[in-house]
Amino acid sequence: MLLDTGFNTALMHDAALRRRFHGDPIHRAILPGPGEPLEEALSHAGIEMSDVHAVGLSHLHLDHAGGLRHFTGVPVHCQRRELEYGLSPEAERHAIFRIDFDDPKHDWRLVDGDAEIAPGVTAVLTSGHTPGHQSFIVDLDDSVGGGGFVFAFDAADLTENLDREVSVGGRVDATPEESVEQIRRLKALAADRDYRLIPGHDPVVWPALTTELADRFGRTPAR
């Protein structure tokens, strides 16, 4: 199971599409190379694109759902309210683009609230960043040492959001207090299981975690 899929690079290679979907002068996505970043990242982990048999989406923002085009026909787990919002006229104002996910070939598996979506993977509804944002609890098998992680995704972008219980900056129809409530819930879930809580976009946490997991599972991390 792949959790989130990254950008739709087809909208970045074409100049007109890039202006249309990536025209924000402040937030500019930068491709690491000429290839498909998702395919390259999976390859470094010894995984082929065809090995992905299910996808869990935290939410439908362009940097999380854009690669969904590679996985038509496989189960896609998403909160029902997130997809409903994503198909609404106002979603595009919040960087949610139907072109990334509105395909009749997608096999949607929609849930309402917390749900185990695969053995050892539980989706946790953490609305606020978007109306149907979900985080994930991942239990690791005893054969690899057990334990697990709580992946906040964009319910908490940075370590600061967790340590200081600071609201995320980007929210859709949610107050800062509601965002902090979700952060506290995730912290409690992680503490109950003695799992590490991973913020979604922390530029220090993720490289270190990538190296750590590569060492643990005998993989070579992407550079």
Asked if the model's pLDDT at residue 213 lies above 70, the reply is: yes
pLDDT, tens digit, for every residue of 170-187? 999 999 999 999 999 999
At residue 123, what are phi and psi to the nearest 5 degrees? -85, 135
Confidence label for 32 from pLDDT (cuts 50, 70 and 90): confident
Is 223 among the domain residues?
A: no
Q: What's the structural domain count of the chain?
A: 1
Asked if the model's pLDDT at residue 122 lies above 90, the reply is: yes
Cα separations (Å) of 123 from 28, 41, 48, 70, 198?
A: 29, 23, 24, 22, 15
Please report the pLDDT score of residue 191 as a whole number: 98
Is 222 among the domain residues?
A: no
Confidence label for 216 from pLDDT (cuts 50, 70 and 90): confident
Burial of 182 (0-12, 13-18, 19+ CB in 10 A): buried
Integer Cα distance of 123 and 126 in angstroms: 9
Asked if the model's pLDDT at residue 222 lies above 80, the reply is: no
Q: With CA atoms as reference, report the closest residue to 54 among 10, 106, 8.
A: 106
| Domain extent for 86 | 2-217
pLDDT, tens digit, for every residue of 64-105? 999 999 999 999 999 999 999 999 999 999 999 999 999 999
Please report the pLDDT score of residue 195 as a whole number: 98
Is 204 among the domain residues?
A: yes
CATH number where 91 lies: 3.60.15.10
Please report the pLDDT score of residue 220 as a whole number: 61
Is 139 among the domain residues?
A: yes
Is 25 among the domain residues?
A: yes
Is 193 among the domain residues?
A: yes
Average pLDDT over residues 4-19: 91
Is 163 among the domain residues?
A: yes
Is 196 among the domain residues?
A: yes
